[in-house]
Amino acid sequence: MGAERLREIGQELRRLRVAAGLSGVGLASRAGVPQSTVSRVETGRRVSDPDVVARLFGALELEQTEAERLARLVRLAYEETAARRVDAGVSFRSGAGVEWAREAEIVRAFGAVVLPRLVWTAEFAAVAGASRDADAWASLARDGARRLVLVVAEAALRTWPGSGEGMVNQLAYLAEASRWAHVRLGVVPEGVMPRVPLHGFALYDQAAVTVETFTRELTLADAEEVAVYAGIFEEFERAAVFGDEARVLVERAATELRNALGSIH
């Protein structure tokens, strides 16, 4: 599969180069690489660094969407044809979750003690000190371009940063999002958790999983690991309630929070 992708990359590069009226030498000069590098890529062979391939495409001044598509193709090809290491299929690249979500048809996210980023309000993100990519996540959640299956532990409805005042709006937004046509929200009631929820995670089709730690965003793309996480998500999904039953739990948590805040002030 990886070798086939390398050939596709080479064919695309040659097609776009010719369409731009450039020779191999001309493209090499623009990209600041030897002409032999252009020839090597166009004939479907690996070069030392995928960034070199990205530089060749960049020299063609493509539209952003086309450039992103080709960058993704290059990344996949080089991952698939790389010598496998013990950490193969593991990445710590920041912002990878947003990129995977943009390309996914289905995003499945589980919140163990915190709601998934896809349904954070800007206020919640700011108070949590995690406003990076907040706008991108919010846009992805709203645009309807992909199906979202969100499952949260009931405890996540009662976990908030700061004073908790921002959580009232957050829970209202969660209830609103649960009614969007492309969103399916489930809540796992207290006492029926099928396994210990060690952490939250998000699945992008069957391609990758992201997990956020305190210091990094961990991406797992190994097929076996993704399959394990898919199975775990299905366990939580089976234990969850959906639709009006889920909204009842959200609204109950909101009522309890308003009462608690009212007793403080």
Tokens of 8: 């596709």
| Segment 164-212, tens digit of pLDDT | 788 999 999 999 999 999 999 999 999 999 999 999 999 999 989 999 8
pLDDT tens, residue by residue, 14-24: 999 999 999 99
Residue 224: is its pLDDT beyond 60? Answer: yes
Total domain count, the chain: 2
Identify the pLDDT of residue 82: 60
Q: Is residue 10 part of a domain?
A: yes
pLDDT attached to residue 88:
52
CATH number reported for the structural domain that contains residue 9 in this entry: 1.10.260.40
In this predicted structure, the answer to whether residue 85 has a pLDDT above a threshold of 50 is no
Given 55, 81, 107, which residue is the final one in a domain? 81
Residue 174, domain member (yes or no): yes
* Residue 86, in any domain of the structure: no
Q: What is the DSSP string of 145-214?
A: SSEEEEEEEGGGGG--STTSHHHHHHHHHHHHHTTSTTEEEEEE-TT--SS-----EEEETTTEEEEE-S
Write down the pLDDT at residue 8: 86
User: CA-to-CA distance for 245 and 119, rounded, in angstroms?
Assistant: 19
Residues 6+ apart with CB under 8 A from 174: 115, 119, 157, 185, 250
Q: What does the longest C-alpha to C-alpha distance in the chain come to? A: 75
Each residue's pLDDT tens digit, 93-115: 778 888 889 889 999 999 999 99
Residue 219 CB burial class (10 angstroms; 0-12, 13-18, ≥19) = buried
Q: Whole domain around residue 15: which residue ranges?
A: 2-81
Tell me which amino acid residue 108 is: R
Q: What is the mean pLDDT of the chain?
A: 88
What integer pLDDT is reported at residue 87 of this predicted model?
Answer: 47
Question: 254 with 166, same domain?
Answer: yes
